[in-house]
Amino acid sequence: MGGLYTPDCVPIFVYLNMFPLNQPEVLIANATQKFDEKEILKDAATLERTNELLAALVDWTKKLE
C-alpha cells in the first residue's frame, strides 16, 4: 500500500482490528528556507503543525497499550 490508502480500506482495518495512523507523513515545502544552518526548524507554522502531528502520534500510541 506504500503508506497510502483510500477510504475503501477502512472496513478492512475495522475487521482486522487495526489502528491505522492517519497522516503519518510530514511534507515541508521550501524546506531549505525553513531550517537554519544547524538544521533547526525556524518556521513557526511548520513547527506548530509538526507538534500537532507528534501529539496525534502520542494519542495513537496510547491506544495500543
Residue 32 has pLDDT above 80, yes or no: yes
Helix (H, G, I), strand (E, B) or coil at 41: strand
Domain borders along the chain are 23-65
The cell for 32 is 531549505
Dump pLDDT digits (tens) for 12-29.
888 998 877 776 677 889
Rounded to two decimals, what is the model's pTM?
0.61
Of 39 and 1, the one with more pLDDT: 39
CA-wise closest residue to 26 among 35, 18, 13, 14: 35
